[in-house]
A and B are shown apart, each in its own frame.
Chain A
Amino acid sequence: GQQLNQSPQSMFIQEGEDVSMNCTSSSIFNTWLWYKQDPGEGPVLLIALYKAGELTSNGRLTAQFGITRKDSFLNISASIPSDVGIYFCAGQPIGNTGKLIFGQGTTLQVKP
């Protein structure tokens, strides 16, 4: 089946540092989404991307929909302790009925 490769699997950084994570797919997607999951909670939508090449920001977060439509990245600038959590990419493959495929997640830890 279709899969998303998300990397890195985990990151441990110092407060104030910038963070970058990405997702790649073997097939073309027409939507990319980035979610954050806090411990004991469900994923919460951070950014949604709908067009190839689209670059969207949400505060300190910036995400881009790759030109090839097979990848996306998420950047977090000037990280703070509350950025800790698991970040998931999700995509909607072209031709799919709209079901989302999720990456395996990137666990982010921020050291104050």
Chain B
Amino acid sequence: DAGVIQSPRHEVTEMGQEVTLRCKPISGHDYLFWYRQTMMRGLELLIYFNNNVPIDDSGMPEDRFSAKMPNASFSTLKIQPSEPRDSAVYFCASSKTMWTSDSTDTQYFGPGTRLTVL
């Protein structure tokens, strides 16, 4: 398997613009997670899906952020309008199950999208 695929790898945009980040999870994984990584706050879980349904979006910073998973092989994280403080690396991760009962159940991360909002 190619692993979790994210695009774009880098995104530079201006404040106020809409940004869409994309993720393709590992085939057969039922859970998909979106994380944000910054120097100040480290890795933060934004939202996760189970079988394409959003389960917990308590980590989403505000209404400017939205995430969708229209099918088992694709998810998007959208920021509209973007602000400079949204600059960060956004990771997508996937796993087979939610309970980490053995090593195959743990989350596998994509390479991330580095977002810079000017």
Contacts and interface: CB of A to CB of B under 8 A. Distances in A.
Contacts of A44: 109
Contact of B100 (A31, A40, A88, A105): A31
A4 to B, nearest CB: 9
For the residues of A in contact with B, the DSSP-based class is loop
A50 B102 contact: yes
A48 B56 contact: no
B54 interface: no
Contact of A42 (B55, B100, B101, B109): B109
Contact of A41 (B55, B101, B111): B111
Interface residues of A, number: 21
B99 A103 contact: no
Interface stretch (B42-50, B66-74, B79-87): B42-50
Contacts of A42: 4, 91, 93, 109-112
A42 B42 CA distance: 13
B100 A33 contact: yes
Nearest to B43: A102
A48 B112 contact: no
A49 B24 CA distance: 27
Contacts of A99: 45, 48, 56
Interface in B59-118: 91, 93, 98-103, 106-112, 114
A100 B111 CA distance: 18
A11 interface: no
B111 A48 contact: no
A99 B45 CA distance: 8
Given A33-B100, A98-B98, A40 B106 contact: no
12 contacts: A40-B111, A40-B112, A41-B111, A43-B91, A45-B106, A48-B100, A88-B43, A92-B100, A99-B48, A99-B56, A102-B42, A104-B42
Interface of B: 4, 42-43, 45, 48, 55-56, 91, 93, 98-103, 106-112, 114
Interface of A: 31, 33, 35, 40-45, 48, 50, 88, 92, 97-100, 102-105
